[in-house]
Structure 1
Amino acid sequence: MTQVAQQTIAAADLPERGQPLAGGIFVTRYWLNGEERALVLLDDELSGEWGEYGLDVPGSKNYSDGEANTRAMAEAGSEIAIKALELGAHIPSCLEGQLLMAAKADGLVTLRNDRLHWLSTQHSAYSAYGMGFEDGWLSGSGGKSSERLVRPVRSLPIR
């Protein structure tokens, strides 16, 4: 069942970075597709394959828009993407993953260091990007059928 999540937030209502917001922790403000947004890291942790190895997923190569990537993944049958969307969230893009790493480095969020996390940005029909949150290592060589972690995020338009 899909959770109903907060859809927007007024700039005046934004908490300090690292504080609770929309069912998670407020990470930072950023711009996406010409719109200022608030990135929120959820506590949920998912595990699974990115998608089918060898299948090129149209619409999943966006470096910044994790929600668009996650929707494309779900349409192609990715179970982990479907789970993220059911939470009213998405799998972070490469940009969103780097923003999460910056928040971790600033001591605002906790992310597991022991396993590579999937990002929603596809690298090729055979691989997708992943990030190691121990040191911010971004990898484009993760075989899409490998099981990895996902920490879903929400991206709220700031009004």
Structure 2
Amino acid sequence: MSATAQVAPAQPIPAIGQAYGGGFVTGITRDPVTGKRSLHITAGAAHELVGKWGEYGEKIEGADSFTDSLANTQAMASAGSDLAAKVLALNIDGFTDWAIPARDVQELQYRHFKPTTEENWAGRRDGDNPNSVPIGQLYSEKSPLQTTHTDFQEGGAEAFRDTWYWSSSQRSAHLAFSLDFDDGSQYGIVKDTELRVRPVRSEFLD
């Protein structure tokens, strides 16, 4: 049998918003070191949690990735984060590899599932996502628009709330990255603040 014949046919990548893998397809990132692509899946709204990222002033080794949600979350849990431990304990439709989304994974949640019709905040580097596929550009006041996925629109069953959500990406000993799902503002917030989390899981495509 030839090498070509032994290669399995490529499986089609499920569409953004499609129910898949215990949640909803959110987008793709490419690891900046390995170059491998990952497909990210967002859990339903029923699985949101609320809590502190961690302790103010404590730098956690291994929680700095912008793409590896699971590695960040495992590092947080090892350092004593109750919120991270709760996310890691989730079992949704038999999938047990849930995590707090890394910064660039969380950005895809807003880009593709923006709940509101409000203008976006466009004053800093909000929306810049060099690790997404395709590469994410800076938000403008009008882009992205409210999601076309009706369940994720404001008032829908899966909609994000118009408030701040944690990512798992650490900014410093005092801050971690977060995102406001009202207007897309990305900001570092002190770690001992209680914010919401919408878990994700990831699958390698390469």
* TM more than 0.5: yes
The answer to whether residue 35 in structure 2 is matched with residue 34 in structure 1 is yes
Q: Which runs of 4+ in 1 moved over 6 A?
A: none
* Residue segments in structure 2 that go unaligned for 5+ positions in a row: 1-8, 91-96, 115-146, 153-158
SS in 2 for 1:128: strand
**Contact 1:91 1:152 (C-alpha < 8 Å) held by counterparts:** yes
> 1:59 — aligned with what?
62
**Contact 2:29 2:67 (C-alpha < 8 Å) held by counterparts:** no
Q: Distance in 1 between matches of 2:37 and 2:58?
A: 33
TM-score, L = length of structure 1? 0.86
Bigger drift between 100-109 and 116-125 goes to 100-109
Q: Distance in 1 between matches of 2:166 and 2:102?
A: 9
**Contact 1:11 1:158 (C-alpha < 8 Å) held by counterparts:** no
The answer to whether residue 158 in structure 2 is matched with residue 158 in structure 1 is no
The answer to whether residue 165 in structure 2 is matched with residue 112 in structure 1 is no
**Aligned-pair CA distance for 1:16:** 2.0
Q: Distance in 1 between matches of 2:30 and 2:84?
A: 23
SS in 2 for 1:12: coil
SS in 1 for 2:11: helix
How far does the alpha carbon of each residue in 1:40-89 deviate from its partner, in whole angstroms, 9 at most, with x for none? Answer: 00011010000111111011122222221111101101011111111221
**Aligned-pair CA distance for 1:13:** 5.0
**Aligned-pair CA distance for 1:107:** 2.9
Change in CA separation of 1:12 and 1:81 when aligned onto 2, cut-off 3 Å = same
Q: Distance in 1 between matches of 2:14 and 2:69?
A: 23
SS in 2 for 1:62: coil
* Residue segments in structure 1 that go unaligned for 5+ positions in a row: 1-9
Letter in 2 for 1:119: S
Q: Distance in 2 between matches of 1:30 and 1:84?
A: 21
Q: Distance in 2 between matches of 1:21 and 1:99?
A: 16
Q: Distance in 1 between matches of 2:61 and 2:10?
A: 34
RMSD over aligned CA atoms reads 1.7
**Contact 2:103 2:177 (C-alpha < 8 Å) held by counterparts:** yes
Q: Distance in 2 between matches of 1:127 and 1:30?
A: 24
**Aligned-pair CA distance for 1:26:** 0.7
Number of equivalent positions: 148
**1:3-14 alignment, distance < 5 Å:** 12=11, 14=13
Q: Which of the two has greater strand per residue?
A: 1
Bigger drift between 102-111 and 84-93 goes to 102-111
Letter in 1 for 2:161: R
TM-score, L = length of structure 2? 0.67
The answer to whether residue 106 in structure 2 is matched with residue 97 in structure 1 is yes
**Contact 2:29 2:105 (C-alpha < 8 Å) held by counterparts:** no
Q: Distance in 2 between matches of 1:128 and 1:11?
A: 37
> 2:16 — aligned with what?
17
